[in-house]
Structure 1
Amino acid sequence: MAVVHFSTDQRKHTGVAEVAIDAANVREFVRKLTELYPSLNAHLVETSSTAVAIDGEIIPDPMLEELTETSEVHLVRPLAGG
């Protein structure tokens, strides 16, 4: 199962630091994740520019990206800078 690691901000919606989800691709992964944690869905919509990193690599168009049993997923909020 792919494991998602939650940021401190995301943990407010999940109550956990990480969770394993059985999914073939990112689209299914996000669907199952937001079923488990409904308030996380609103948070992700609010931060619509959230990027998806799989095994340390940010994926530009991740929804059909395949996941493996050992995939590690991070939902990364953009950094503001200046």
Structure 2
Amino acid sequence: MAIVHFSTDQRKHTDLAEVTIEAANVRDLVRQLSELYPSLNAHLVETSSTAVAIDGEIIPDPMLEALTETSEVHLVRPLAGG
């Protein structure tokens, strides 16, 4: 079961700092999160522009990245600025 850590912005949709999800890969994880937290879906739809960090490493093309029972996942939204 992967542990998903939510950013402060994402917590507005989940009321949780983290959740444990059983998922084989990031695509499955995103699907399950969308089902559990429908209002989070708009953030998750943008996963292509969202960095995914697994166990502290940002994964460039994460959707098929395998998850283990001890994986820690962070969905990091891009920073805006100039």
The reply to whether TM is greater than 0.5 is: yes
Corresponding residue for 2:44? 44
Structure 1 moving runs of 4+ over 6 Å: none
Q: Distance in 1 between matches of 2:62 and 2:16?
A: 23
Q: Aligned with 1:24: secondary structure?
A: coil
Q: Aligned with 2:49: secondary structure?
A: coil
Corresponding residue for 2:5? 5
Q: Distance in 1 between matches of 2:39 and 2:52?
A: 18
- Verify the 8 A CA contact 2:34 2:44 in the aligned structure 1: no
Q: Runs of 5+ in structure 1 lacking a partner?
A: none
- Verify the 8 A CA contact 2:14 2:40 in the aligned structure 1: yes
Q: Aligned with 1:13: secondary structure?
A: helix
Q: 1:19 to 1:46 in 2, by over 3 A?
A: same
In angstroms, what is the RMSD of aligned CA positions?
1.5
Q: Which aligned pairs between 1:1-82 and structure 2 lie closer than 5 A?
A: 1-45=1-45, 49-82=49-82
1:48 positional shift: 5.2
Q: Distance in 2 between matches of 1:46 and 1:67?
A: 20
Normalising by structure 1, we get a TM-score of 0.91
